[in-house]
Amino acid sequence: MSPKERELLQGMVNCYNTCHADFEETVGMVGSARSLAPEDVKATLERLKRAGEEEYKVLRARLPANFPL
């Protein structure tokens, strides 16, 4: 996982823990803060999910189970 990918996923965790927004709202906030389209955020999250690295799993576990990525 690159530093930029790690920061994006950590941003998802931080944003959710602060706002408790649903997946789409969290993606929107994270994307807006990083000047990324929601589709770009989702594509990065999908790529990380497919790679299945341990670091992804640890951070992903800090998000709700109903988040798709």
- Per-residue pLDDT tens over the stretch 3-58: 999 999 999 999 999 999 999 999 999 999 999 999 999 999 999 999 999 999 99
pLDDT at 38: 97
Residues 6+ apart with CB under 8 A from 61: none
Asked whether the beta carbons of 48 and 5 are under 8 A apart, the reply is: yes
Which two tokens mark 69? 């990525």
pLDDT at 5: 96
| Cβ atoms < 10 Å from Cβ of 54 | 8
| Cβ atoms < 10 Å from Cβ of 4 | 10
d(CA 69, CA 47): 9
Which two tokens mark 47? 């790529």
pLDDT at 53: 93
Prediction pTM value: 0.90
